[in-house]
Structure 1
């Protein structure tokens, strides 16, 4: 057998040490999207939680959880521990600080998004999580067996995701949890104090096939029409930036976002992603403002510290923040040893992202206070990029 070393057609070029964006494949995989309904792909949180606006205004803030990469094929112990930690926050929080929902950043079901795996990998682990769960798809959610690499019967791409998150009406499938009624695989959640634009970055990190602009055009319009007096969050499964040795950041997602920011004249206040099985927080200077890019892909699929995605080999970080090879991008914090999740709190004058690690010990150690945190205040809202 031919060695797959340097010079081999199968060799993967190592990323430049310290560079948070990697090269894009010459022939990226892209699976067709499901049929789109005749709608604006927008959902109000009020339709799911009828009194949420009144309650959030009384509390002065809206809190929610976020994480990615949870689906388990190696056992559900870690996913269960993370879900229990989030539920403990819901149970113990004061009424004005209680997380109201979970926004999943993709890769709900491994390895190929099969609809038959949703009970074991989604409904059972979250059966005691007492809040709605929204989601955007990850590559594994869309990477069905059309390629027959697993020798299984094929399903159309995103079939399981659409059935369970984009159902025309709620259907109770497992105990108290029902299917969700999101409008599409990419969509906008309208909530008190905050709007979330959820994108679908397909299999290899693209919004659209090259020379197409269906999702890109929708994205630009959502940025333009988002209320200026609410915090704006953009979520995509593939991260723009990462210093891990396995994936790295995705140049086409970064380019698509930057183009949309410029065309719309609106830059979000926070970018959330998963895909990389670790926690990383970057800051990027746009017009003199600091825009956080947070990667939270350690939600449960990686079931040990060894299985998390480590930082690039040869990368030496003596102190934080760490200046990456991109002049305006810095690594502010990271965790490559624990599972974990985010709590995002949006108020009238500030947006705060807290990270809580969950150890792989038995029983797991759960942080009661944030291990890492960043706050954006209204006077610091980034404008359009230079």
Structure 2
């Protein structure tokens, strides 16, 4: 699996080709008739609900375990958005049957998506076929100059199998009703739904934007309509600010914070848990920065998040799920089993919560009994 998912490492070592590949996908979609402004205009009422689900597609027990809650919570929603890493490990088209169409076959509304780094490990081919009107494969890129960094990268680059996607037509039958269909103009887009504009951006392999997409984001963010950003790379995560650089200068968070753009929230996947940072800006607005990565992939730990003090957000305002103490208790049991020393490693939830409270000097959300020993 690590070898199949090697493209992220190669991009960081030998240069990231994501921006050029994305531009070719976008140009192909525009040539096929997709709107140049990449805006999906829906007929939604002024009051409605939609779902955002990050990091879904492993196709195993964790993904299927959350499906019943997803269906119950989402039964009256107008649509859903998958925020990052739709398919693990490398976004193969043939994986969409068990990791997208089958688990969400009973969700009766459309599903839109933005890609995560795992969807890019096969140059986004599977994602574009499923979400972008069965976009045909890209023609081969020009050959890089011999012995250049790009040439070395091309020799090692993971590419899809020639026969990948042969099972896709059969898988599509699981979500084939007219009400379930949605066509996107590309890997990044905006949705005008009721009173709000939802903007989805594609942060590629390394969590940044190319210049072309950055210019589009600035233009699409204009206007008085309230906006929500959906991104594959959260802007606040694990107590850190990750503003997401744009090629040529500036950051995504600069655009989100600009009062002229009227953003109310920025929601990102990639990290497999839930975190929320209500950041109060100088102009009096409060922007909700959310990590929404609990959509079905294995859960990332929260007990490793340090004491939060970032952009004026402290432990009083910060929220996460699972709670840090529950996360530590779970991992203590996990390592107890793996090391065959359960009595040495395992902590109860109360013990783990007491450890977190002492280590970080915080008041836990669920206070352990006073007799709990650290």
Which residue in the other structure is 1:215 paired with?
Answer: 213
Which residue in the other structure is 1:257 paired with?
Answer: 252
Question: Residues of 1 paired with 2:300 and 2:257: CA distance?
Answer: 35
Give the 3 Å change call, closer, same or farther, for CA 115–26 of structure 1 in structure 2: closer
| Conservation of the 8 A alpha-carbon contact between 1:43 and 1:189 | yes
CA positional deviation for 1:336: 2.8
Task: Please give the root-mean-square deviation of Cα atoms over the aligned residues, in Å.
Answer: 2.9
Which residue in the other structure is 1:384 paired with?
Answer: none
Which residue in the other structure is 2:191 paired with?
Answer: 189
CA positional deviation for 1:40: 1.4
Structure with greater strand share of residues: 1
Which residue in the other structure is 1:64 paired with?
Answer: 50
Question: Residues of 2 paired with 1:200 and 1:114: CA distance?
Answer: 18
Which residue in the other structure is 1:323 paired with?
Answer: 309
| Conservation of the 8 A alpha-carbon contact between 1:220 and 1:261 | no
Which residue in the other structure is 1:353 paired with?
Answer: none
Give the alignment of 1:91-170 within 5 angstroms.
91=75, 98-144=76-122, 157-167=123-133
Give the 3 Å change call, closer, same or farther, for CA 134–108 of structure 1 in structure 2: same
| Conservation of the 8 A alpha-carbon contact between 1:82 and 1:300 | yes
Instruction: Classify the secondary structure of the residue corresponding to 1:163.
Output: helix
Structure with greater helix share of residues: 2
Question: Residues of 2 paired with 1:165 and 1:268: CA distance?
Answer: 26
Give the 3 Å change call, closer, same or farther, for CA 89–262 of structure 1 in structure 2: closer
Give the 3 Å change call, closer, same or farther, for CA 42–204 of structure 1 in structure 2: same
TM-score (normalised: structure 1): 0.61
Give the alignment of 1:1-386 within 5 angstroms.
29-31=16-18, 32-33=21-22, 34-36=25-27, 37-38=29-30, 39-46=36-43, 53=44, 56-57=45-46, 61-72=47-58, 75=60, 77-91=61-75, 98-144=76-122, 157-167=123-133, 173-177=172-176, 180-208=182-210, 213-224=211-222, 226=223, 228=224, 230-243=225-238, 250-253=242-245, 256-261=251-256, 265-286=260-281, 287-302=283-298, 307-312=299-304, 315-316=306-307, 322-324=308-310, 326-327=311-312, 332-336=318-322
- Output one character per residue of 1:255-279: Cα deviation in whole Å (capped at 9) or x when no partner: 5223334779314111110111110
Which residue in the other structure is 1:151 paired with?
Answer: none
CA positional deviation for 1:29: 4.0
Give the 3 Å change call, closer, same or farther, for CA 89–336 of structure 1 in structure 2: closer
RCO higher in 1 or 2 (8 Å CA, sep ≥ 6)? 1
Higher-Rg member (1/2): 2
| Conservation of the 8 A alpha-carbon contact between 1:124 and 1:174 | no
Question: Residues of 2 paired with 1:214 and 1:200: CA distance?
Answer: 12
Question: Residues of 1 paired with 2:100 and 2:279: CA distance?
Answer: 34
Question: Residues of 1 paired with 2:188 and 2:99: CA distance?
Answer: 22
- Output one character per residue of 1:148-179: Cα deviation in whole Å (capped at 9) or x when no partner: xxxxxxxxx1111111011169x881223466
| Conservation of the 8 A alpha-carbon contact between 2:275 and 2:321 | yes
Question: Residues of 2 paired with 1:26 and 1:328: CA distance?
Answer: 35
| Conservation of the 8 A alpha-carbon contact between 1:243 and 1:311 | no
Give the 3 Å change call, closer, same or farther, for CA 261–296 of structure 1 in structure 2: closer
Aligned residue pairs, count:
263
| Conservation of the 8 A alpha-carbon contact between 2:58 and 2:87 | yes
- Return 5+ residue gaps in structure 2 as ranges: 1-11, 31-35, 136-168, 328-364, 366-374
Which residue in the other structure is 1:382 paired with?
Answer: none
- Output one character per residue of 1:325-373: Cα deviation in whole Å (capped at 9) or x when no partner: x44677521013699xxxxxxxxxxxxxxxxxxxxxxxxxxxxxxxx9x
TM-score (normalised: structure 2): 0.63
Question: Residues of 2 paired with 1:262 and 1:301: CA distance?
Answer: 30
